[in-house]
């Protein structure tokens, strides 16, 4: 016997038996039943098993008998895994072996073959001719053929459809012909059993899935919805044309929209897209303000319907194209659903569909795919949602619970109680690739006034949340988050692969929490992705958290693209010790940065004095002072260093908590600090390097300090010392600053007139004739309460190479001998001039030195020099003399001066 060939189509297994013959008795029978209608069989012939002959209950065409029984019978069978018994209403008879067949003398002894079935139709029954017995149903009979194959070949119960007659050349007798068993089935019985098989198919397919292993998912059918672009465009265009022409016939619509579809998947897609774009949810009917539309024509004509309108239309349209489709009833977390409500013993309120594709059931919901209901405005918002087309069961179960467990299509079905407790997730949750870490149930009870939730993600995303007083309905409020943010009652932090939300309700009660998200690179509004309910028996006593208009705490999801590589502070709240906080951000490229500090009770002017930013090529450092207790928001904005025309963008936001010691008003930074404090990118660019102090803040307890660096490009420099003062000082602050420039090294010496915080500004002239440009600011903290002496007043003749060794103070004692030691390159004469003129002498080290008497006059001493033969002298600096004190000490100093003279 030739091998049985099988060909597969979605939802159907076919077996083709070919090259078979019939026993001689049947050939003889056919000759007795000749009829002039060649090629047709009129009715049902029943053979009684066990009889020696055949009882003929109707007339059969002799020609058909020859075609059907003396040539190979080709039949198509549908396999069923559930039943292996002979169909009801079938009568079998065992045919005798064929001993000889004169038309083909080459046939060898046949092997046993059983006829499982062939569908015989009377398509050409003449009008007015006698009808076969049992009416119209008997005009077609189904013959089942079962091949007695080896034991390894097992065929279960099969329903059969006839196929066209094959060419004569192909209808040759098989060399392996055998005896056959012929079963004739009434057409009505066939229909009845086909209906039974459709009811059994869900279980059968689930059994097949378990046997075959892993079930196919949506992504196995198509990679993304872009593959349907051609189909979708055609359907949307054709749907609009049909509506304009007022075509409401289901068959015509289906034929039009599926035109050009190449397979069952594209046909189903066309039907689903048409439903989503042409039928709106009947909100008025749902609310009982108008009569619900029931018939398909009414739904199509009105363009609106409730869930059953969508599901009924989907089922009927699929029937038109031969796709097996079932309506599935159950509960959904849609319009009218209340978080936490019990669905036990509650009648189901929703209908959706399941379709059979490739032998496997898939789920879809055109009602949810068409848009959403806005219960606040009591209207339908059209929004095509592709997620509900062939949704994976593991994701569908979060919002749809079928009455029949089998339609969950899950290996481990859910209980209704679990469905009720699960967190509600919108389609955006799944399309964005989000993953719920905690909690698994929607209702959370706070612990010490705090509730936590966390969501993982595979692709960078931006998040925010909304917390409101509890409302009964789940679908209340907008599904998109506006940019305006309500006062914050929690901390939302985003790390590399997860988002964490720490909620701190302000008072006892129950709250609704909506989480919104969007892809990091998107500019569209954030979309609702999931919801929780938070019950707070007792709130935590805490201060107000400042608003955060930048959605999340910690580094923003896009910080990496802005150039921020890492942060010394995470997204959690940072405890501020002693009122001082330091933030360090590692950067992947040079950046400019601006910082903002916000406290509910802190004035903007004072807040500016709480920040100092140091900008280096690979690090951004922000020094923060907290003058008040409570929570602060520290926001960082950056842009590329060289792109001066680009706007600053928010890169990070940190929550600081100061609950201990605070910074005093006299400890705040000077108000006129520049944007760059301490050595950094700007100083490196102009060639200022090797700073002795690399940080922006320098502290001293000695009342003085020296800052050194190298000026490789020999820029003209200028320094400024300043502080916050309520009144003018007797001696200007410029006298407490002294600069020495030798070779490439610059030394800036500072003497502090008192304790406090000072600003040291460093400027450089990059091009001759231009203004001085700011290089950086140092913040100098002096904790020494004793005032330091001022330096001499320096003039422009004090140039590179000049060094003052003694005296280093600019206020000299009266009637005193003072040793002067100074180096002045290129000088021919150096003198100190007061009441008298004293010329200094150059020693072997090329240092000019000599003792000078200050006298008792309040006039200044001038250190001057001349070069070459010129008698003109340039003043290098001046020294002040203290006022003469009355007493013996001053008189004795004058006598000593007279003796030395």
pLDDT surpasses 50 at 878: yes
Backbone angles phi, psi at 444, to 5 degrees: -120, 135
For residue 37, the model assigns a pLDDT of: 37
Torsion, Cα 417 423 429 435, to 10 degrees, reads: -100
Is residue 521 helix, strand or coil?
coil
Decide if pLDDT at 871 tops 90: no
How high is the pLDDT of residue 838?
92
Left if phi > 0, otherwise alpha if psi is -120 to 50, otherwise beta: which for 439?
Answer: beta
Residues 6 or more apart whose CB falls under 8 angstroms from that of 45 comprise 54, 56, 57, 58, 60, 141, 184
Among 639, 592, 594, 632, smallest CA distance to 616 is for 592
Query: Between residues 20 and 355, which one has the greater pLDDT?
Result: 355
Q: How confident is the model at residue 159 (pLDDT cuts 50, 70, 90)?
A: very low
Residue 70 to residues 5, 22, 563, Cα–Cα distance (Å): 21, 6, 84
- The pLDDT of residue 188 is 45
375-406 per-position pLDDT tens digit? 778 888 899 999 999 999 999 999 999 999 99
Residue 173 · residue 71 · CB < 8 Å: yes
| pLDDT score of 50 more than 80 | no
Q: Average pLDDT over the chain, rounded to whole? A: 77
Q: Are strands 75-79 and 580-587 parallel, antiparallel or unpaired?
A: unpaired
Region of poorest pLDDT, from 289-303, 412-426, 477-491, 586-600: 477-491
Strand partners, 652: 555, 636
pLDDT of residue 672: 87
> Which tokens belong to 622?
């922000």
Q: Which of 277-281, 460-464, 539-543, 767-771 has the lowest mean pLDDT?
A: 539-543
The count of other CB atoms within 10 Å of the CB of residue 39 is 13
pLDDT tens-digit series, residues 463-490: 888 888 888 777 766 677 654 445 568 8
> What pLDDT is stored for residue 662 in this prediction?
94
pLDDT of residue 520: 83
The values of phi and psi at residue 680, to 5°, are -170, -150
Highest mean pLDDT among 143-157, 288-302, 792-806: 792-806
The encoded tokens of residue 644 equal: 């001066």
Structure confidence at residue 366 (pLDDT): 95
CA-to-CA separations, 223 to 219, 228, 405, 426, 703, in angstroms, rounded? 5, 10, 29, 21, 72
> pLDDT confidence of 462, banded at 50, 70, 90?
confident
pLDDT of 892 > 80? The answer is: no
Measured CA distances, 453 to 430, 444, 463, 893 (Å): 17, 9, 13, 82
Element (H, E) at 248: none
Structure tokens at 351: 């209908």
**154 pLDDT exceeds 70?**
no
Where does the pLDDT of residue 13 fall: very low under 50, low under 70, confident under 90, or very high at 90 and above? very low
Crossing angle of helices 229-244 and 264-278, rounded to 10°: 50
Distance (Å, rounded) from C-alpha 576 to C-alpha 629? Answer: 10
The b-or-e profile of 174-195 (16+ CB within 10 A means b, else e) is bbbbbbbbbbbbbbeebeebee
pLDDT of residue 464: 87
Q: How many helices (H) and strands (E) does the chain have?
A: 18, 53
Question: Rounded CA gap, 897 and 901, in Å?
Answer: 6
**292, two tokens:** 């619900």
Q: Is the pLDDT of residue 317 over 90?
A: yes
pLDDT tops 60 at residue 639: yes
Task: Give the rounded percent of residues in the chain with a pLDDT score beyond 70.
Answer: 72
- Predicted confidence (pLDDT) at residue 186 exceeds the cutoff of 80: no
CB 791 within 8 A of CB 735: yes
Angstrom CA distances, 468 to 429, 440, 494, stand at 21, 21, 22
Which long-range contacts link 685-694 to residues 24+ away (Cβ below 8 Å)? Answer: 686/713, 686/715, 686/764, 686/766, 686/775, 687/711, 687/712, 687/713, 687/715, 688/712, 688/715, 688/762, 688/764, 688/775, 693/778
Global pTM value: 0.63
pLDDT for 234-257, tens place per residue? 999 999 999 999 999 999 999 999
pLDDT at 95: 36
Note the helical H segments in 358-515.
366-370, 393-396, 416-421, 427-431
| pLDDT in the model for residue 445 | 94
* Structural domains of the chain sorted by starting position, each given as residue range(s) with its CATH number in brackets: 224-414 (3.10.620.30), 423-470+487-542 (2.60.40.10), 573-662 (2.60.40.1220), 670-725+732-791 (2.60.40.10), 793-884 (2.60.40.2840)
Do residues 67 and 120 make contact, with C-beta atoms less than 8 angstroms apart?
Answer: no
Of residues 887 and 70, more confidence is placed in 887
CA proximity to 142, closest of 200, 81, 78, 59: 78
Residue-wise pLDDT tens digits, 691-744: 999 999 999 999 999 999 999 999 999 999 999 876 677 889 999 999 999 988
């Amino acid at each position: 016997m030739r091998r049985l060939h099988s060909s597969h189509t979605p939802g159907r297994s076919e077996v083709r038996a070919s090259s078979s013959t019939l026993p001689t008795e049947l050939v003889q029978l056919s000759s007795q039943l000749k009829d002039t209608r060649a090629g047709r069989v009129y009715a049902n012939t029943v053979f009684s098993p066990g009889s020696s002959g055949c009882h003929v209950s109707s007339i059969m065409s002799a020609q058909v008998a020859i075609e059907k029984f003396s040539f190979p019978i080709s039949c198509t069978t549908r396999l069923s895994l559930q039943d292996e018994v002979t169909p009801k209403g079938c009568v079998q008879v065992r045919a005798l072996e064929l001993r000889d067949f004169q038309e083909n003398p080459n046939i060898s002894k046949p092997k046993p073959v059983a006829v499982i079935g062939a569908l015989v139709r009377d398509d050409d029954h003449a009008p007015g001719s006698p009808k076969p017995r049992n009416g119209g149903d008997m005009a077609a009979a189904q013959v089942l053929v079962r091949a007695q194959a080896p034991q390894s070949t097992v065929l279960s119960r099969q329903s059969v459809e006839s196929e066209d007659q094959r060419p004569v050349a192909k209808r040759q007798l098989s060399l392996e012909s055998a005896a056959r068993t012929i079963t004739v089935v009434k057409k009505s019985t066939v229909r009845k059993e086909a209906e039974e098989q459709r009811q059994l198919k869900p279980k059968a397919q689930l059994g097949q899935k378990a046997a075959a292993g892993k079930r196919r998912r949506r992504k196995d059918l198509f990679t993304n919805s872009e593959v349907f672009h051609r189909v979708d465009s055609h359907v949307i265009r054709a749907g609009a044309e049909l509506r304009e022409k007022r075509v409401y016939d289901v068959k015509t619509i289906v034929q039009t929209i599926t035109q050009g579809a190449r397979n069952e998947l594209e046909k189903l897609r066309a039907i689903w897209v048409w439903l989503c774009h042409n039928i709106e949810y009947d909100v008025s009917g749902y609310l009982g303000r108008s009569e619900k539309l029931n018939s398909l024509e009414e739904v199509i004509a009105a363009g609106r319907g409730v869930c059953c309108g969508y599901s009924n239309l989907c089922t009927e349209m699929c029937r038109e194209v031969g796709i097996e489709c079932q309506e599935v009833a159950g509960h959904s977390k849609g319009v009218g659903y209340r978080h936490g409500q019990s669905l036990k013993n509650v009648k189901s309120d929703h209908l959706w569909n399941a379709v059979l594709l490739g032998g496997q059931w898939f789920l879809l919901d055109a009602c949810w795919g068409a848009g959403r209901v806005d219960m606040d405005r009591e209207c339908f918002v059209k929004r095509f949602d592709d997620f509900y087309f062939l949704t994976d069961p593991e994701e569908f179960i979060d919002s749809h619970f079928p009455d029949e467990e089998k339609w969950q299509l899950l290996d481990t079905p859910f209980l209704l109680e679990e469905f009720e407790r699960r967190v509600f997730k919108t389609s955006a949750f799944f399309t964005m690739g989000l993953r719920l870490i905690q909690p698994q149930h929607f209702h959370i009870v706070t612990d010490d006034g705090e509730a936590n939730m966390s969501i993982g993600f595979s692709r960078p995303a931006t998040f925010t949340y909304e917390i409101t007083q509890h409302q009964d309905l789940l679908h209340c409020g907008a599904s998109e988050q506006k940019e305006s943010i309500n006062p914050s009652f929690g901390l939302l932090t985003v790390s590399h692969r997860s988002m964490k939300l720490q909620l701190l309700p302000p008072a006892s009660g129950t709250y609704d929490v909506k989480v919104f998200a969007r892809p990091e690179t998107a500019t569209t509004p954030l979309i609702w992705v999931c919801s929780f309910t938070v019950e707070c028996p007792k709130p935590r006593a805490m201060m107000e958290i400042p608003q955060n208009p930048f959605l999340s705490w910690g580094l923003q999801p896009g910080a990496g693209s802005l150039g921020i590589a890492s942060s010394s502070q995470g997204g959690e709240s940072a405890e501020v010790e002693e009122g001082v906080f330091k933030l360090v951000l590692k950067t992947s490229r040079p950046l400019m940065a601006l910082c903002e500090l916000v406290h509910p009770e802190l004035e903007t002017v004072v807040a500016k004095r709480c920040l100092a930013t140091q900008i280096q090529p690979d690090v951004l450092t922000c020094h923060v002072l907290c003058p008040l207790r409570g929570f602060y928001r520290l926001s960082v904005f950056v842009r590329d260093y060289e792109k001066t025309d680009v706007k600053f963008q928010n890169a990070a936001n940190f929550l600081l908590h100061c609950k201990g010691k605070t910074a005093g008003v006299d400890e705040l930074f000077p108000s006129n600090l520049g944007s760059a404090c301490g050595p950094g990118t700007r100083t490196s660019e102009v060639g200022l390097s090797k700073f002795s102090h690399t940080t922006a803040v320098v502290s001293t307890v000695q009342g003085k300090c020296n800052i050194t660096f190298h000026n490789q490009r020999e820029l003209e420099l200028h320094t400024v010392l300043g502080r916050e003062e309520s009144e003018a000082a007797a001696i200007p602050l410029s006298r407490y600053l002294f600069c020495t420039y030798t070779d490439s090294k610059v030394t800036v010496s500072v003497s502090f007139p008192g304790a406090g915080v000072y600003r040291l500004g460093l400027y450089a002239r990059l091009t001759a004739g231009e203004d001085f440009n700011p290089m950086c600011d140092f913040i100098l903290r002096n904790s020494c309460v004793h005032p330091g002496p001022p330096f001499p007043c320096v003039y422009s003749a004090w140039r590179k190479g000049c060094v003052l060794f003694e005296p280093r103070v600019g206020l000299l004692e009266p009637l005193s001998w003072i040793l002067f030691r100074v180096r002045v390159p290129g000088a021919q004469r150096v003198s100190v001039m007061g009441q008298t003129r004293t010329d200094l002498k150059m020693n072997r080290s090329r240092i000019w030195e000599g003792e000078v008497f200050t006298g008792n006059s309040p006039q200044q001493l001038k250190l001057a020099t001349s070069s070459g033969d010129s008698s003109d002298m340039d003043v290098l600096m001046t020294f002040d003399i203290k006022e003469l004190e009355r007493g013996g000490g001053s008189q004795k100093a004058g006598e000593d001066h007279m003796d030395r003279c």
